[in-house]
Amino acid sequence: MPNKLISMQEAVAQYTWDGMQYAHGASLSVGSDSLAFGREMVRQGRKNLHVLSHCCAQQLNLLCAAGAVDRIETAFSGLEVYGFPYGLRRAVESGRTVVEDYSNLNFSLRLLAGAMNWPFCPTVSGYGSDQEWRSAFFPEEYPCQRKIPEVADPFTGKACHVLSPLKPDVAVIHVTMADLDGNAIMLGSEWNRYELSRAAKKVVLQADLIVDTGCMRQYPNLVRIPDVVVDAVVYWPMGVWPQCSTGLYDSDEEHMYDMNNAMKTPEGFAEYKQKYIDSYNTFAEYLEVIGQERISKLQDTTTRHLMDPYRKWILSHEEIATLTDGRQRG
């Protein structure tokens, strides 16, 4: 299989564009999301995005604060204990961005429909409520007839409600480990990353670790994302920060609050962007921005034992640089 490892800058330049339908995914507000990729999208000035965000995380908050998002389809829009995402709030209240809301079950079903290439998917969730009757995309239409439409069950003739499939242009999915071919293992909650990897037209993996393919051969049952659906792999340690990556590092609660508070105002966002986005080019410089003391504290996680079976296959920065002919150097 070809070596799919490319730099973060190359991945964003090659696989994203203005006006695209972009998908990412994490488990609630602190889960393993491709936040580093979102930072690079902001740096490269992406705009007019239609974002599919199953569960709001700091990446969506950041993209909204940057004025990069026109439309959002989501199933949860909070940051839990860290408050409501201020970047998202500013974008919606200003009229810059509209949000279409679904239940978590329906969002999962839409991803499943996309992954299975179904024309639609029946549902028993969300209809008979404002999730069906109100649409941010068709605000003048009430009750809405095309968000969760009613059709006749061809077998019984009874009323049945259906959902449209999700097939994003590109999905960027964070994984714990990937090999150079694009096989990936995820520790912790998947949160529909499995279905998303099959539904998207293009898939980019953001990986905390690159491992030898021997790891994937040893644990084939854990390879939830296989190389055949992956277009590119980006190696980016601590790529979820300030959120958490199970087995590797905990969420940075202090920075979660600080980051959200920075999104309150254009001035706060500009300051955050200068310090935490524009100040580095390589992952080594990115790690310096976080700080080794903070990284060590976050990596002292009670879940670190989960990585024990895989440690012998983890490649070093130097090995990765050699294997990729120097394309990815820290």
DSSP string across 4-28: -EE-HHHHHHHH--TT-EEEE--SG
In this prediction, residue 2 carries a pLDDT of 84
Cis ω on the peptide bond leading into residue 266 (within 30° of 0)?
Answer: no
Q: Is the pLDDT of residue 27 over 90?
A: no
pTM for the model: 0.96
227 phi, psi to nearest 5 deg:
-60, -30
Question: pLDDT, tens digit, for every residue of 133-167?
Answer: 999 999 999 999 999 999 999 999 999 999 999 99
Q: What percentage of the chain has pLDDT greater than the value 90?
A: 89
Tokens standing for 264?
């309150």
CA angle 224, 225, 230 (to 5 degrees): 175
Q: What is the mean pLDDT of residues 301-316?
A: 97
Q: Across all residues in the chain, what is the average pLDDT?
A: 95
Q: Give the lowest-confidence range in 25-34, 73-82, 285-294, 314-323.
A: 25-34
